[in-house]
Amino acid sequence: MQDSYDTSKLCTILRSEMTPLLKSDLVLFFRYRRDSASIELLASSDPTPHLGSIAAPDQSSLEWIEGLVDDDLMWFPDLGSAPLLLQEWGKSWNVSSMAVFFGSEADDIKDMIIISRKEKQDESWKKIDGELLEFLRGAMFVLEIYYLINEIDKMKTDIQSVFGLAPVGIIMVDSTGMIINANKHAISMLGCGIPLDDVIGDNILSGNRFKGSGLDEVVRKTLGGEETDTENMRYKSSSGRICYLHARMQPVPMMSGKMHAIGVLADVTQRVRLQQQLERSYQTLTEAFQELQRVDKMKTRFIDVVSHELRTPLTVMRGYLELLSSEYKEKMDPKVLSKLQTIKVNTDRLYDIVESMLDVARIEKGAMEITKQESSVRALVEGVVSSQRPLAQEKHQEIDVVTIGEVSSARIDAKKLHDALKNILNNAIRYTPEGGKIQVGMADEGKMIHIWIRDNGIGIPLSDLEKIFDRFHIVVAKELSHQVDRMGLGLPISKGIIENHGGKIWVESEPDKGSIFHIKIPKD
Ligand code: ADP
């Protein structure tokens, strides 16, 4: 608070100024607050009274205060006739007479000035009544201005501390581009590295410090009347350091007609650098992904070529083996025949693998041909089950077939769907221990046929569920190590066949509890 606006000083001035008019020993300013029915001592010409103390007036004194109107001047030449409150104050300050003036009333507040004397006052005070009233009105007016200025000063201090505490940089510039205020965050962001006072007064537009820094452009635009919001402003400090600022600036028209600008700055360098890093990583990843796609294509082509190349000799071999084992069966030594049988089984298996690889390649190329014909779904499912039942019986497993509702026929490629369902049922048998239970179900769901294959086998870990339909994906688990002929091709082929029918396949599974594969295919 500035000295010149010290209300206590004003009391002292009042006392000495009034001396020619009347002799006063003590001048006090009070404020009465109606909401709390309390009186506060605001200032005194004498430091001894309890400055700042709050007094709660007694009921009759309160009524007296409430009854007083603005601009009232009350005389108490002898405190004996004064309200109780004044009598008590008089005692504590050791005064015998008082004049009380009430200033204007505002917002439930009444300000009063008390002039008191040590001695009892004679009637001579009354003679100066008019003159004193004028004097006190003036004093009250000055007092109110003092309060107002002090209030503004306080607000200024508050704004200044908010300014300093704000976690962002704040700068204010005048119409010429000169910095008229800035907080320490702004100074450090702008990389000035010098005391605040040195920056204030610097000109962003014409000075050297900010020339070409990026900020000069933003300030120029804002002073032109444009509100600016520059998200990643590249800022180059006078020392050459580069950083990125989010600068929001607003033009502020002054009463003089000139335009000032106020700006909020946030340092976003770390974010921008991370973003740039992310963009670079994204670029690297995209390139790596493209490379992977290229290698993957090469691999698919390789499989395709090799499979085709293998298929022809294998077909020839199978033909000769068939011929040998049927036509020359009688002429052959049983030992040779048995060896021939083993060769035939293995050649057939090799042929199946080659066929599977070709199927995968066809699906990937979108070249799988589906020939739809009206066929019985029930017959299809039952055919699949009969083909796999001997396998299940070997493992003492039960296969239960359930039908919900009347399952009608559908337009399907029965042969391909047979292969797809066979793969899934075959898996259910393979990945379910001896004595397990398998259920194959079908239901008519209006436009779709729902088929499911449930087992109570080893189940599939959650981490593999997503990938189970990918080519060559097999679950790596100790209990599966004896399953040597796993290729990870059955499910992707089944999926390809089902999706080429416009249907879908998904799986629910829990390790050690079992799995359920759902297939839905449209009827036409
Ligand atoms: P393959 O059975 O020849 O390995 P698939 O594509 O048919 O190829 O299956 C991929 C993998 O999914 C299998 O190796 C197996 O780990 C797992 N799997 C498939 N069906 C089941 C099932 N019913 N229960 C448990 N695991 C299964």
Supply 198's token pair. 């040195």
User: Using CA atoms, how far apart are residues 298 and 311, in angstroms rounded to an integer?
Assistant: 19
Domain spanning 169-267, CATH class: alpha beta
Judged against a pLDDT cut of 60, whether residue 193 lies above it is answered with: no
Whether 475 has a pLDDT exceeding 50, the answer reads yes
Q: What CA–CA distance (Å, rounded) separates 294 from 472?
A: 18
3-class secondary-structure state, position 432 = coil
Percent of the chain whose predicted confidence (pLDDT) is above 90 = 45
Reply yes or no on whether the pLDDT at 53 is more than 70. no
Looking at the chain, the whole-number percentage of residues with pLDDT higher than 70 is: 94
Rounded CA Rg of the chain:
50
Distance separating alpha carbons of residues 346 and 352, to the nearest angstrom: 10
CA of 418 to the centre of ligand 1 (A): 17
d(CA 360, CA 209): 68
Q: What is the mean pLDDT of the chain?
A: 88
- Nearest residue to 485 (alpha-carbon basis) of 426, 414, 412, 421: 426
Question: Region 492-519: what's the mean pLDDT?
Answer: 97
Q: Is residue 3 very low, low, confident or very high in pLDDT (cuts 50, 70, 90)?
A: very low
Q: Where in the chain is the domain with CATH 3.30.450.20?
A: 169-267
Residues with CB under 6 A from ligand 1: 423, 427-428, 431, 455, 457-460, 468, 474-475, 480, 486-491, 515
Question: Of 193, 181, 191, which Cα lies nearest the Cα of 213?
Answer: 191
CB within 8 A of 506, min separation 6: which ones? 517, 518
Residues in the chain: 524
Structure tokens, 494:
């089944």
DSSP secondary structure letter of residue 503? -
**pLDDT band with cut points at 50, 70 and 90 for residue 118:** confident
Tell me the torsion sign for CA atoms 316, 321, 327, 332. Answer: positive
Q: Confidence class of residue 105 from pLDDT cuts 50, 70 and 90?
A: low
What is the pLDDT, as a whole number, of residue 470? Answer: 93
Q: Whose CA is nearest to atom 16 of ligand 1?
A: 475
Q: Is the pLDDT of residue 328 over 90?
A: no
Residue 95 pLDDT more than 80?
A: yes
Cα–ligand 1 centroid distance for 163 (angstroms): 67
Of the listed ranges 4-13, 35-44, 224-233, 315-324, the least confidently predicted one is 4-13
- Locate 57 and state its tokens: 């007036």
Given phi > 0 = left and psi -120 to 50 = alpha, else beta, which region is 399?
A: beta
- Residue 44 makes CB contacts below 8 A (sequence gap 6+) with 8, 11, 26, 27, 28, 29, 51
* Closest ligand 1 atom number to CA of residue 514: 24
Distance of CA 135 to the CA centre of its chain: 64
Q: Which helix (H) or strand (E) holds 412?
A: strand 409-412
CA atoms of 421 and 401, how far apart (whole Å): 13
**Amino acid found at 443:** A
Nearest to 154 by CA among 18, 286, 1: 1
Report the CATH fold assignment for 373-522: Heat Shock Protein 90 (3.30.565)
Averaged over 72-101, what is the pLDDT? 88
In CATH, the number for domain 7-162 is 3.30.450.40
Of residues 481, 426, 477, 429, the one with CA closest to residue 457: 429
pLDDT band at 52 (very low <50, low <70, confident <90, very high): low
Contacts of 248 (CB under 8 A, 6+ apart): 228, 229, 230, 263, 264
Residue limits of CATH 3.30.565.10 in the chain:
373-522
What's the pLDDT tens digit per position in 388-414?
A: 999 999 999 999 999 998 998 999 999
Q: Which residues of 202-237 are buried (b: 16+ CB within 10 A; e: fewer)?
A: bbbbeeebbeebbbbbbbebbbeeeebebeebebbb
Residue nearest to atom 21 of ligand 1 (CA): 427
> Which CATH code of 1.10.287.130, 3.30.70.60, 3.20.20.70, 3.40.1010.10 fits the domain covering 276-365?
1.10.287.130
pLDDT of residue 480: 74
The answer on pLDDT for 94 being more than 70 is: yes
362: CA distance to ligand 1 center in Å?
21
Query: Is this model's pTM higher than 0.85 or not?
Result: no
pLDDT the model gives residue 192: 55
Task: Kindly report the protein residue whose alpha carbon is nearest to atom 23 of ligand 1.
Answer: 428
The token pair at 261 is 């600008």
Distance 473 CA to ligand 1 centre (A): 8
pLDDT confidence tier of residue 92, bands split at 50, 70 and 90 = confident
pLDDT at 2: 45
CATH 3.30.450.40 maps onto the chain at 7-162
191 contacts 267 by C-beta, under 8 angstroms: no
- Closest ligand 1 atom to 432 CA: 24
- Residue spans in the chain of domains classed CATH 1.10.287.130: 276-365
Model pLDDT for residues 329-361, shown as the tens digit of each residue: 888 888 988 999 999 999 998 898 899 988 988
The predicted pLDDT at position 447 comes to 94
Tokens of 417: 């769907």
